[in-house]
Structure 1
Amino acid sequence: MADSESTDNKTAAHLARNLVSLRHTRSLTQDGLAKAAAVPRSTIANLESGEGNPSLSVLVKVAGALGVPIDELLASPRAMVRRWNADEVATHTKGRGVTIRPLVPEPVPDEMMEVMDFAPGAVMGGTPHLPGTREFFTCIDGRVNLMVAGERYALNTGDVLAFPGNLPHSYQNGDGVAPARGVSVVVLAKAGV
């Protein structure tokens, strides 16, 4: 029986340490995590103190809110390292000839970070965000034209354009023959701010 209690205590300690670390990494408060996981804040506080005895349902909700598998919550102390194979990172096509994939495959509060691959002739309309949102687009290969509020900005490899994300905008491969690539970082405005 003592071995079982010792194992339970170790698991609770691992859960507490991992939960605090993951929550801080994502800049979440206990209340913010509780809301995202749809559990009471006291549940998060108990888990972080090592006193909680969560159900599988609670673990699934908390892991989902943090964007990690349950085993990462319960793992013994180790470096917080995770590798994604290329086929595990979801990609989607948007517009005509633009492939988008997340730059960071874990949720990052208040930001969107994407790698955008532009086939020759590719065009994509941007989605305006809330006022106060800021977008930074870096052309990392080739040439990309951005239209922001009716004005055209031609970007070459290494150029960066920052603009209010709530303005109408669109992207276009700036070279009709060669592909291009860019990174978009959108710092989202908080609702009601």
Structure 2
Amino acid sequence: MNSNSSWDDGDAGKQIGTNLRQFRKNKGISIEGLAKQIGVSKLTLIKIENGEGNPTLSVIWKIANGLNVPVSTLLSVDSDVSVARKEKGLQLASSDEVLVAEPLFQSRSSMELYRGYLKPDSAYLSEAHPSGVMEYVTVMTGELIMEMDGEAYHLREHDSIRFAGNRTHKYINPTDSLTTLHFVISYNHL
């Protein structure tokens, strides 16, 4: 993490674990119950809660969806001013590392902002988010094909797309160059 952040690299995992434990207990869900609900092993959740785990982007999404909270609440540290420097913050990677997402500002709000990097000639399949989640994606560099419900939307640099995130959607980089994305995920409609 950078010096303008409320975290340093060693504290990110601990913060996620602390927030996970707090939300899980506040909702009266046992660790076993959450594990069964979201399809993540109990051991993995215990490691994350103890600050020992390094959860993938997919696991963090499953936890947030299972607790019905925005991902940013699992990552949040309260601060009045934050600076998000390119590739200096917390990085969440898909299990195959095709997509890396950087939460830009960790807060407990109904909106999340991410910078994302999609590797050349690759695809990332995102699971459906809870009903009411809206996703906004802008291509900052490169190209992107979004696939949803059998439709493909080809986006070029500075093109944007908005869609209901409650369905499976696929991000495809059809080029031999890295595609940089800006994501806004809104939970206002929940």
Q: TM-score, normalised by structure 1?
A: 0.53
1:81 shift after superposition: 3.3
Tell me whether 1:161 sits opposite 2:161 in the alignment: yes
Q: Which residue of 2 aligns with 1:67?
A: 77
Q: Quick check: which has more Rg, 1 or 2?
A: 1
Tell me whether 1:98 sits opposite 2:108 in the alignment: no
For residues 76 and 104 of structure 2, the distance between their equivalents in structure 1, rounded to whole angstroms, comes to: 17
Q: Which residue of 2 aligns with 1:181?
A: 180
Judged with a 3 Å threshold, the aligned counterparts in structure 2 of structure 1 residues 188 and 117 are, in CA distance, closer, same or farther, namely same
For residues 173 and 156 of structure 2, the distance between their equivalents in structure 1, rounded to whole angstroms, comes to: 11
For residues 169 and 158 of structure 2, the distance between their equivalents in structure 1, rounded to whole angstroms, comes to: 20
Q: Quote the RMSD (CA, aligned, Å).
A: 3.0
Report if aligned partners of 1:95, 1:125 keep a CA contact under 8 Å in 2: no
Quick one: which amino acid aligns to residue 90 of structure 1? L
Deviations 1:91-128 (A, max 9, x none): 02115421111122x21412222111011122111121
Structure 2 alignment gaps of length 5 or more: 1-21, 27-73
For residues 95 and 150 of structure 1, the distance between their equivalents in structure 2, rounded to whole angstroms, comes to: 24
For residues 66 and 173 of structure 1, the distance between their equivalents in structure 2, rounded to whole angstroms, comes to: 30
Structure 1 alignment gaps of length 5 or more: 1-34, 39-63, 73-79
For residues 167 and 104 of structure 2, the distance between their equivalents in structure 1, rounded to whole angstroms, comes to: 23
| Partner secondary structure for residue 120 of structure 1 | coil
- Aligned residue runs from structure 1 range 7-46, under 5 A: none
1:158 shift after superposition: 0.7
Report if aligned partners of 2:134, 2:189 keep a CA contact under 8 Å in 1: no
Judged with a 3 Å threshold, the aligned counterparts in structure 2 of structure 1 residues 167 and 83 are, in CA distance, closer, same or farther, namely closer
Aligned residues: 120
For residues 81 and 123 of structure 1, the distance between their equivalents in structure 2, rounded to whole angstroms, comes to: 35
For residues 178 and 128 of structure 2, the distance between their equivalents in structure 1, rounded to whole angstroms, comes to: 25
1:189 shift after superposition: 5.0
- Aligned residue runs from structure 1 range 71-150, under 5 A: 80-83=80-83, 89-94=89-94, 96=96, 97-104=98-105, 106-150=106-150
For residues 87 and 139 of structure 1, the distance between their equivalents in structure 2, rounded to whole angstroms, comes to: 17
For residues 134 and 179 of structure 2, the distance between their equivalents in structure 1, rounded to whole angstroms, comes to: 22
Q: Which has the higher helix share?
A: 1
Report if aligned partners of 1:130, 1:166 keep a CA contact under 8 Å in 2: yes
